[in-house]
Structure 1
Amino acid sequence: MVNVMADASKPALSRSLSGLHLWGIAVGLVISGEYFGWSYGWAAAGTLGFLVTTVLIAAMYTTFIFSFTELTTAIPHAGGPFAYAYRAFGPLGGFVAGFATLIEFVFAPPAISLAIGAYLNVQFPALDPKLAAVGAYVVFMGLNIAGVTIAATFELFITVLAIFELLVFMGVVAPGFSWANFVANGWSGENAFSLGSVSGIFAAIPFAIWFFLAIEGAAMAAEETRNPTRTVPTAYIAGILTLVLLAFGTMIMAGGTGDWRLLSNVNDPLPQAMKIVVGENSGWLHMLVWIGLFGLIASFHGIIMGYSRQIFALARAGFLPPAFATINPKTRTPVKAILAGGVVGIAAIFSDSLIEIGGLPLTANIVTMSVFGAIVMYIMSMAALFKLRVSEPTLARPFAAPFYPVFPAIALGMAVAALVTMIYFNWLVFCLFCGLFAVGFLFYRFTADLRDNAEEDALLETAQIEARTLAD
């Protein structure tokens, strides 16, 4: 990178978000995971097996968030994990973390948009879910382009509505809940200790991760947050506690309404579960479908914000074409980055022949692809935390990871275990994931000039100086 600072006259991201906005983003990014996607875990592990999986993954995410917050407050950068890995390991480490995050955030929205289409199809059976998914992209890319404060305020509003709707769902189905329904056929094997049950617990990992996937995306808004060193820790901790409570409440209540196997391979498990209790013509069901859309929209809208900031940060640092690093002078949003991720997502919606592999539905495989990116990013982030503790002991850390090194070690170890088991159970999707990484690496390998000519970034300064020293 050239040794010059950014031109002060160029448009920059707007630092206008409050802590409440950031909590709304953190929860909103994830909350669609309570509405769909997770029930595929029942198909793999049964209700009791998936409950075990979810407990383990919740522990991983809780320790991860408490550790990740240290990085976010020390390096409040739009690139999030890309910036942490770059500072710790230099350009190659930045590429690995950044591209993994990009895969996570670009492939999550098409899965969510397909669920939006499925929910709308409940109300309008003649509506093609894929066309509805494309329509969602058009609407919410436009909202993100309009401005970050508008987008974040809308995100907060629909996130609160989505939480309210999940609480309503639990209350409405409570009279029909039976623990006997939940535990019936609860293991994928003969009993809890059989090989089939243990195998199912591991196979269900991607769908338990879907409960919490993308909470880390709030880090990408840190550069647009007022006083991030104080607001980020509060938003993250409140966010993960909110999501853990909602995840277990939703899953358990849905599983006890009747035969859970009817819900294990659908994109709209909550309306289907409520239908069992209140019937097809109940006003409660129609309310869930309509208000429940807010949960999907919250994540969809928030992740568009996340992927656009990741594309913007990678392009600004010379890892993607510099055109994606431009900011619209009126809205102060990265318009080209928003549109680029949308093009990839819409292509994924219509890629049945490529992504509907391994006998799983299209949505399940898109979820798995996104989770592969997330897990690689989690590993790189925790490795960066350990590295920076050694290489930069004087780095200002407004929030230090509690119980260091235990919490980050737990998060790192569980993430590695999750990656290994996911590769074993999802070999074909992993091969496609590696193929995308290979394409990204070829671009990285032959575009060093973009990074040499990129503007200096004060938050990455240490890594850049080290890289230049090694080159000399």
Structure 2
Amino acid sequence: MKPASVSQAIETPPITAHHDLKQTLGTWQLWGIAVGLVISGEYFGWSYGWASAGTLGFLVTSLVIAAMYATFIFSFTELTCSIPHAGGPFAYARAAFGPIGGYFAGAATLVEFVFAPPAIALAIGAYLNVQFPALAPKHAALGAYLVFMALNIIGVQIAAAFELLVTLLAIFELLVFMAVVTPGFHFANFLRGGWAGSDHLTLHAVPGIFAAIPFAIWFFLAIEGVAMAAEEAKDPKRSIPIAYIAGIVTLVALALGVMIFAGSAGDWTKLANINDPLPQAMKIVVGVRSGWLHMLVWLGLFGLIASFHGIILGYSRQIFALARAGYLPRFLASIHPRFKTPWLAILAGGAVGIAAIYSDQLITFGGQTLTANIVTMSVFGAILMYILSMLALFRLRTTRPDLHRSYKAPLYPFFPAFALICSILCMGTMLYYNRLVALVFLGLLAAGFIYFLLTRRQREHAADSTPLSSS
């Protein structure tokens, strides 16, 4: 085994986490965060995949992506338990590949978690607009940011308890949705034109299946954010594996149920390219004036709020960890003296998200809606992070066999290899079908890398710069 280089030793995070953050989270709260981070993906975003691939084509895409996420989570959990660090993927890549690896993983995770909330906030605005037509969706999205940034600043215990509550309500609401549309369930509706407008699978359907990848990923995007709460977990080596595994099982079941029931309720083409497919699907079955519809709109907000609130927690911990390690300005690592939360990191990520919401002319391009482009940008960050995380797992297995692993990836090396190969294929496909968004994403990485090169001294004097231990 080759010894770690001097530069890597300087900037590699310790396994024993810094306890600047309170350790208060239990297993159920972590499960609530895992599912809550993602569950808005069941409410909106995914139906854009129908526009590209049709219902059956998108089902194929979703099943492959579900397999990718399942193998990824089973593998990623090994890293989370071995290195319980608020930086999550940033910490794993830095441990495996040194400062540059840490930068790219951290920047990718930051793009994922900072760009996902504005898309969710816009969906919250769309849902509220159904009830209050005079309320502009963007203004409602701004209000959501202000409320939930404040809640996250008040304290992680309160935030996690709220997250668990709204996640349970969101799951209940999805089950109610399936029950209410059951009288109108006709699987023939789901099958009609299911291969990109055709009733039969042809070669013309294949491009759409690949183009729909970002929207299938949206079903599961951000579940890995539990890793960023690892420093705040009471017993991360036990609770995190349970939370992750239970979380991915929950999400796969809900994703398939919602997609099939919505597509079988009527003309699914009317649900593509909109931000509120579930209320519209229910409207087909129960009518515009039904009390069920109004209930869905109101309770449907719980799913969006759960993800929005949870991802704010995630992006703030990523910004905090990067700033603590000297990869971002140090003031962003400030802990609130009373609430013990990274309050400036919460505000900074929110400022970027709010700017994205009001940047129609900058983000609406390539024939895609504002929401679709924001979703795609977030997915680009996620996929790069998945690739780097699986590479880090393989490298640490080789270079750090002494690392304490309370949980090991099952069927190693096959599970992480499958997740890695799928992630690389997803990245290649997304680069091909989303070239303009890809250029913006690469531009953000390049700009961040210039900052990285100019701030080496800042990292050398950072609080989080001690060598990796074998504890």
TM-score interval, smaller chain = over 0.9
Corresponding letter in the other structure for 1:387: R
Structure 1 segment 324-339 matched on structure 2, within 5 A: 324-339=332-347
- Give unmatched runs, 5+ long, in structure 1: 464-472
Q: Does 1:290 align with 2:298?
A: yes
The AA in structure 2 aligned to 1:414 is C
Please tell me whether the aligned partners of residues 118 and 129 of structure 1 are also in contact (alpha carbons under 8 angstroms).
Answer: yes
- In structure 2, what is the Cα distance between the partners aligned to 1:70 and 1:93? 19
Shift of 1:13: 0.4
Q: Who is 1:27 aligned against?
A: 35
Which of 222, 236, 243 in structure 2 is aligned with 1:228?
236
Partner secondary structure for residue 395 of structure 1 = coil
> Which residue of the partner structure matches residue 162 of structure 1?
170
Tell me, in whole angstroms, the C-alpha distance in 2 between the residues paired with 1:443 and 1:239.
Answer: 36
1:203 to 185, 208, 211: 211
Q: Which residue of 1 aligns with 2:122?
A: 114
Quick check: 1:206–1:371 contact (8 Å CA) kept in 2?
A: yes
> What whole-Å deviation, never above 9, does each CA across 1:350-392 have from its counterpart, x for those lacking one?
1111111111110000000000000000000000000000000
Correspondent of 1:461 among 451, 454, 468: 468
Matching residue of 1:301 = 309
Structure 2 residue 145 is the aligned partner of structure 1 residue 137 = yes
Work out which of the residue numbers 46, 54, 58 in structure 2 matches 1:46.
Answer: 54
Q: Specify which of 103, 108, 113 is matched with residue 105 of structure 1.
A: 113
Is the contact between residue 181 and residue 257 of structure 1 (CA under 8 Å) also seen in structure 2?
yes
Give the superposed CA RMSD.
1.6
1:196 positional shift:
2.0
- Indicate conservation of the 8 Å contact 1:30/1:299, yes or no: yes
- Report the equivalent of 1:374: 382
Equivalent-residue separation in structure 2 for 1:185 and 1:219 (angstroms): 40
Q: 78, 85, 96: which one pairs with 1:77?
A: 85
Whether 1:17 aligns to 2:13 is no
Q: Name the count of aligned residue pairs.
A: 458
4+ runs deviating over 3 angstroms? 189-193
**One-letter identity of the residue aligned with 2:245:** I
Tell me, in whole angstroms, the C-alpha distance in 1 between the residues paired with 2:19 and 2:414. Answer: 42
User: Distance between the aligned counterparts of 2:201 and 2:283, measured in 1?
Assistant: 34
Relative distance call for 1:176 and 1:193 in structure 2 (3 A) is closer
- Asked whether the equivalents of residues 77 and 223 of structure 1 are also in contact (C-alpha less than 8 Å), the reply is yes
1:441 aligned to 2:449? yes
Deviation at 1:438, TM superposition (A): 1.0
**Which AA in structure 1 matches 2:145?**
Y
8 Å contact from structure 2 (residues 237, 406) kept in 1? yes
Q: Give the superposition deviation at 1:154.
A: 0.2
- Cα deviation digits, residues 152-174 of structure 1 (max 9, x gap): 00000000000000000000001
**Helix, strand or coil at the partner of 1:150:** helix
SS at match of 1:336: helix
User: Is the 8 Å Cα contact of residues 49 and 192 (structure 1) preserved in structure 2?
Assistant: no
Query: How many Å apart are 1:457 and its aligned residue?
Result: 4.7
CA distances 1:171-216 after superposition (whole Å, capped 9, x unpaired): 0001101011001010116465423211000000000000000000
Counterpart-to-counterpart distance in 1, 2:216 and 2:200: 18
Q: Percent identity?
A: 68
Does the Cα contact within 8 Å between 1:49 and 1:186 map onto a contact in 2? yes
Q: Which amino acid aligns with 1:461?
A: L
Aligned mates of 2:10, 2:223 — CA distance in 1: 33
Residues in 1 aligned to 2:203 and 2:348: alpha-carbon distance in whole angstroms: 44
User: What amino acid maps onto 1:353 in structure 2?
Assistant: Q
Q: Which residue matches 1:388?
A: 396
Q: Deviations over 1:79-102 (max 9, x none)?
A: 000000000000000000000000
**CA offset digits 1:111-170 (Å, max 9, x no partner):** 000000000000011110000000000000000000000000000000000000000000
Partner residue in 1 for 2:252: 244
> 1:68 is matched by which residue type in structure 2?
F
What corresponds to 1:67 in structure 2? Answer: 75
Determine the C-alpha separation between the residues in 2 that align with 1:15 and 1:293: 29
Distance across 2 between alignment mates of 1:28 and 1:457? 32
- Where do residues 212-227 of structure 1 align in structure 2 (5 Å cutoff)? 212-227=220-235
1:418 aligns with 2:423: no
Contact 2:191 2:199 in 1 (8 A): no
CA contact (8 A) 1:2 1:455 kept: no
Question: Does structure 2 retain, via aligned residues, the 8 Å contact 1:2–1:456?
Answer: no
Q: Which runs of 5+ in 2 are unaligned?
A: 1-8
Cα distance between partner residues in 2 of 1:203 and 1:148: 38
Query: Cα–Cα, structure 1 residues 276 and 92, in superposed 2: closer, same or farther, change >3 Å?
Result: same
For residues 86 and 200 of structure 2, what CA distance do their matches in structure 1 show?
Answer: 44
- The residue number in structure 1 matching 2:6 is none
Match of 2:405 in 1: 397
